[in-house]
Amino acid sequence: MTPETLLAGLPGYALAPGSIQVLADAKAYHACLLEQIRAATRRIVIVALYLQQDEAGQEVLDALYQAKAARPGLDITIVVDWFRARRGLLGAGRQPGNAAWYQAQRQQHGLDIVIHGVPVQTRELFGVLHLKGSIIDDCVIYTGASLNNVYLHRFDRYRLDRYHLFHSPALADAMVDLVRRLLHHTATPRLDLPAQPSTRSLRSDIRRLRARLRRMAYDAPASVPGQGLRVIPLLGVGRGNPLNRAVCALLAAARRQVIISTPYFNPPRVLMRELDHALERGVRVELIVGDRTANDFYIAPGEPFSASGALPYLYEDNLRAFARRRHAAIASGQLQVRIWNDPGHTFHAKGVWVDQRYSLLTGNNLNPRGFNLDLENGLLIDDPHGEWQVPREAELAALRRHAPQIDPVQALGSKAEHPKEVRTLLRRLRFSRLEPLIKRVL
Residues with active-site annotation: 130, 161, 348, 376
Q: How far is CA 107 from CA 35, 103, 116, 211, in A?
A: 25, 6, 16, 35
Beta-strand pair 284-290/257-262: parallel
Rounded to whole angstroms, the Cα distance separating 71 from 65 reads: 10
Characterise 141 by phi-psi region: left (phi > 0), alpha (psi -120 to 50), beta (else). beta
**What phi and psi, each to the nearest 5 degrees, are found at residue 378?**
-165, 160
Alpha carbon distance, N-terminus to C-terminus of the chain: 32
Q: Is the dihedral of CA 303, 305, 311, 313 positive or negative?
A: positive
Other CB atoms within 10 Å distance of the CB of residue 10: 19
Strand partners, 80: 117
- 365 close to 350: Cβ distance less than 8 angstroms: yes
Q: Is the dihedral of CA 360, 135, 374, 308 positive or negative?
A: positive
